[in-house]
Chain A
């Protein structure tokens, strides 16, 4: 693999500079934003991963009551969550379209798609608030059960990250209004698209996790050695 070849380089042997590395080439296909975003995604992924590890551990305590599995539990009928998931998926789809349009230099269409993506993302957040309200009305407060606590914690963190993404979309729209060049916009849209898909994947995993039954948690926890 390339990285092993690089790490195996005998740097004490003199050889011409720049033969294997050119800063100029890097400038041409500037990957700075991409690399930073990948690291950021890794950081966020670790956050959700670690919470999930504690979730699985906590789910095996006697007082844990899953939010789904039995007919009387709120997420046995998860219609609202399905709707929210649909909104987020549409948002992801719209931003992906924006990426395709921007690659074809159809900036107006790309901006339209970005507006759509923003709209669906806001719809998702609104939908999440609706679920919070429903849970609250049913007496599922944040401190009454650890399953509830985790639900509120997960969804707030995910929502906050999505809000950060929406701010980034506003930034892109601002750039468009200020007539920035296609290349620049296209790069920003690429970054937003990657982030959006990542947040969708995280949400799908959370959705699956939070609407699972106690029995499922028991099996996963057992597999993980808890």
Chain B
């Protein structure tokens, strides 16, 4: 018998799981796995959110909380950064939305390797458990900073330099194994399981973003794996890959000749593509949401796809702009500054295209749309400060200040999170079959959007003042005015309010799931395939008896002459209801008279 992947299997071969365990626990259904990924990622993200609140308490009101000593502060910083970037954003965009959307949007029954997909989630969960375990080991979690730079990451004196760092490195390695299993699935499914008529250039931009981001992940995560393995050997076996000859606490250590800079190169060779591993799915998803809620086709679809591909390629040759202060050859810095500025070109194309999509669109200010438009603001803002920092001479004085914290939180923190909220609200009716509470959603948006500006705008100013980042407390510093401390206090208050506002979101999701109204199968009037499933919410294997056939691209909104203001991808030309000519002339005439 020829092997036929489950994504292509005819329905009669696929047995629906019947028991609770096979349906919800050891499930191989991409939708269930997506939800498992999402819930885990959000829960662990909440831990990171609380950690950021604790950090802000110390910064805003220094020495008021006895349990936040310098060690604890660095542990909070480290765990907050790593959890948010890897275990929340990467996992939620690719493990969560990648899993949910790819098969549904391309018209497949499931991922091509469902068992591997299931394994991917459980290995991810293992990585999360290992990471969380570090809170409970002697010495606590590592406090080396989220970049885990050696030599200090494994030297005595750094919080968690024994167990904490060990668990962090092991957890990262396990996460990468999980990601590779998932990633192989996503790319193969996109390439091999698209339904009839779904050409590459008819795929919604969400799938394009997830697809290219997954390729980036597959090629970039090995750098983190390699650095994790090599640092583990430095820690456990005493090798000197990254550890130089060093005197620690008055004692000459057994290391010699290793290069900490080598670790930085490896780390950022992963770290910069990681920005786009998170950003590209966000770009794709936001494009689809903007187009749907503006009732207008995405502006410059081909250019959007090319920009995603170009950004993906370029993201591998910009990494050293994170290392200008490491003391590099000026020509090297010049090269990376140039590539960094070049990557702004396709990125700017995308921003222009989003704005032009909105231009003269029939904009519906729904909750997902609010978050999507919010994203355009925060991303443009964060992107522009990125242009400052991409230049060596501007980066050098700003690199160790709050300007950088403000920049990357706007571009890599707030912006993707805005898209995540947009996406969760947008697809919530599809995933659960329920409507969410719009009023609560709008409250959530406005507090989050305005709140993040209240947090990060002042941080830019603090950066210009020269307030250093990574400091537990500022102490008495002549060049920092007292007003900086007032700003810090106000930032903390804003951060706590924004943090608390996320409870509105969680309450809304849970309450709507339990007692929300049943939603319309296609409440936004969207064209993409996931809204056209025969069951709502989609059942096991998605498509009932027959796979959908695709006749058009994903952006047929407000097509002239069409009766409805959207034509789903699976509607053939002859089935499109048209306004008849007499009717149109009549309406045009009446329009002229008015």
- A residues touching B (Cβ–Cβ < 8 Å)? 6-12, 14, 16-18, 20-24, 26-27, 30-33, 35-36, 39-40, 42-43, 46-47, 50-51, 54, 57-58, 61-64, 142-143, 146, 149, 153, 157, 180-181, 183-184, 187
Counting contact residues on chain B (CB < 8 A from A), the size range is: 35 or more
Q: Are B4 and A149 in contact (CB under 8 A)?
A: no
Q: Are B201 and A32 in contact (CB under 8 A)?
A: no
Q: Are A153 and B2 in contact (CB under 8 A)?
A: no
User: How far, in Å, is A47 (CB) from chain B's closest CB?
Assistant: 4
Looking at the complex, which one of A30, A58, A180 makes contact with B4 (CB distance below 8 Å)? A30
Looking at the complex, which one of A22, A149, A157 makes contact with B196 (CB distance below 8 Å)? A22
Tell me the complex Cα distance, A207–B51, Å: 48
Contacts of B197 in A (CB 8 A): 17-18, 21
Looking at the complex, which one of A10, A24, A149, A180 makes contact with B239 (CB distance below 8 Å)? A149
Q: Are B1 and A184 in contact (CB under 8 A)?
A: yes
Q: Are A21 and B198 in contact (CB under 8 A)?
A: yes
Residues of B530-569 at the interface with A, using a CB-CB cut-off of 8 Å, are 547, 549-553, 555
User: How far, in Å, is A9 (CB) from chain B's closest CB?
Assistant: 4
Contacts of A23 in B (CB 8 A): 8, 193-196, 547
The 3 closest A-B pairs by CB, nearest first: A17-B197, A63-B257, A11-B553
User: How far, in Å, is A202 (CB) from chain B's closest CB?
Assistant: 14
Contacts of B195 in A (CB 8 A): 23
Using known A-B contacts A12-B555, A31-B192, A57-B262, determine if residue A183 contacts B1 with beta carbons closer than 8 Å.
yes
Q: Is B578 an interface residue (CB 8 A)?
A: no
Q: Are B5 and A30 in contact (CB under 8 A)?
A: yes
CB pairs A–B below 8 angstroms (24 shown): A6-B199, A6-B201, A8-B302, A9-B201, A10-B201, A11-B202, A11-B553, A20-B199, A23-B193, A27-B8, A35-B188, A39-B184, A46-B222, A54-B241, A58-B258, A58-B262, A61-B257, A142-B233, A142-B238, A146-B257, A149-B240, A149-B241, A153-B230, A183-B2
Contacts of A30 in B (CB 8 A): 2-5, 8, 192
User: How far, in Å, is A66 (CB) from chain B's closest CB?
Assistant: 14
User: How far, in Å, is A150 (CB) from chain B's closest CB?
Assistant: 8
Tell me the complex Cα distance, A207–B162, Å: 35
Looking at the complex, which one of A20, A22, A40, A58 makes contact with B241 (CB distance below 8 Å)? A58
Q: Are B230 and A54 in contact (CB under 8 A)?
A: yes
User: How far, in Å, is B397 (CB) from chain A's closest CB?
Assistant: 28
Tell me the complex Cα distance, A18–B4, Å: 20
Contacts of B1 in A (CB 8 A): 180-181, 183-184
Looking at the complex, which one of B3, B226, B258 makes contact with A187 (CB distance below 8 Å)? B3
User: How far, in Å, is B253 (CB) from chain A's closest CB?
Assistant: 12
Q: Are B229 and A143 in contact (CB under 8 A)?
A: no
Contacts of B319 in A (CB 8 A): none
> Given known contacts A54-B262, A153-B233, what 15 new A-B pairs fall within 8 Å (CB)?
A6-B199, A17-B551, A23-B194, A23-B196, A33-B3, A36-B184, A36-B188, A42-B218, A43-B222, A46-B219, A143-B238, A146-B239, A146-B257, A149-B239, A181-B1
Q: Are A17 and B200 in contact (CB under 8 A)?
A: no
Tell me the complex Cα distance, A6–B305, Å: 11
Q: Is B485 an interface residue (CB 8 A)?
A: no
Using known A-B contacts A32-B192, A143-B240, A181-B1, determine if residue A9 contacts B266 with beta carbons closer than 8 Å.
no
Contacts of A64 in B (CB 8 A): 257
Q: Are B2 and A184 in contact (CB under 8 A)?
A: yes
Using known A-B contacts A11-B301, A18-B549, A50-B266, determine if residue A40 contacts B198 with beta carbons closer than 8 Å.
no
